[in-house]
Amino acid sequence: MAISDCTALQTDSNGRELNAHGSALFPEACYSDDLSAAGIPWHWHDDLEVLIIDEGTACVAVNGKEYLLHEGEGLWINAGALHGLWQQGSAPCHLHSIVFHPRIVGGGLDSILWQKYLEPLLNDRSLNSFLLDGSEDWHKDAVACIDAAWKADVTEEDGYEFEMIEELSRLILLLRKHQPSAPVRTLSDQALRDAERIKVMLSWIQSHYREQIVLEQIADSVHLSANEALRCFKRMINRSPMQYLREYRTEQAAHLLQSTDLKIFQIAEECGFQDMSYFSKTFRQIKSCTPGEYRQKNRQKASDGL
């Protein structure tokens, strides 16, 4: 299985990821990402996702909760959970991950494995993620399962599918054994509504970021007042709609700086920045360098084969 780059994902009108993970015969895919080049924007999918930080520190946000993950730490993300990943600080940040359909482990809906182990995790609407940071003894075993499954897939030695299924099954068993009891994780109706609304609003921004946008337009996408949309954003992703818009535009500009020969002012216009000085200021605030420095640095990395 070739290793893919998860930063170039595509989403539909509801923010659901469109990228196919593996094949219908074996629905999983491995990813290796350099978050210092570009973050992974907010998205969601029906597959499960597991990841491990190889180097540096990443900010991983899942349905309104943010984690700072350091080298060697991992995270499990449930199906349907809205999430995004970004580099934290100026040091390089790399990670590897697996996105896989639950049936790889659970089989069909009539399987005891599905009903006893997968279904309780998938149907727990308040269980969006498991942080695997070593604070509990079983975390080390869980991270080891993820790493072994990823390496098996990358090497593709004969029978690697069995090895992947074995390691991911062990992981699911660990998660199921340590799934919190229901009273601890009850979510309010407000939180559940927020989770669905934010998916739609983020997707609307991702579809219209090249245009001039005001807060009321974002709110209208889910029939909310501007103030309530603002509160929803603050509750779910700890930033305002306009802050998210600036961040998303900047990530798109970073991708174009790295992958095209467009002039910097053309990239600014393409990404919805109408004022060059504002674009440069915003880019420096988010990326800790100017657009020109970013282009030069990442093209040097590419020429060095990094």
Degrees, nearest 5: CA angle 36-18-48:
75
What type of residue is 261? D
Cα(245)–Cα(272) distance, integer angstroms: 10
Band of residue 303 on the pLDDT scale cut at 50, 70, 90? low
Cα(30)–Cα(12) distance, integer angstroms: 22
User: What average pLDDT score do residues 18-42 get?
Assistant: 81
Lowest mean pLDDT among 39-43, 96-100, 110-114, 152-156: 39-43
Q: Which among 126, 128, 124, 119 is positioned nearest to 84, based on CA atoms? A: 128
Query: Can you tell me whether residue 156 is helix, strand or coil?
Result: coil
Lowest mean pLDDT among 165-169, 175-179, 279-283, 295-299: 295-299
- In this predicted model, which residue has the larger pLDDT, 198 or 14? 198
What type of residue is 273? F
- 264 CB-near residues (< 8 Å, 6+ apart): 257, 276, 291, 292, 295
Cα(306)–Cα(248) distance, integer angstroms: 25
What type of residue is 175? L
- pLDDT at residue 230 is higher than 80: yes
Q: What share of the chain is helix, strand, coil (3-state, %, to 5)?
A: 50, 20, 35
How, if at all, do strands 57-62 and 129-132 pair?
A: unpaired
| Beta bridge partner(s), residue 69 | 58
How, if at all, do strands 40-43 and 65-70 pair?
A: unpaired
What type of residue is 166? E
What type of residue is 38? A
- CB 166, CB 146: distance < 8 Å: no
Cα(143)–Cα(137) distance, integer angstroms: 11
Alpha carbon 124 to chain centroid distance? 20
In tens, the pLDDT along 35-59 reads 877 788 888 999 999 999 999 999 9
| Beta bridge partner(s), residue 30 | 98
DSSP assignments along 17-65, one per residue: B----S-SSS-EEEEEEETTT--EEEEB-SSEEEEEEEESEEEEEETTE
DSSP assignments along 94-159, one per residue: EEEEEEE-THHHH-STTSHHIIIIIHHHHT-TT--EEEESSSSHHHHHHHHHHHHHHHHHHH--TT
Band of residue 190 on the pLDDT scale cut at 50, 70, 90? confident
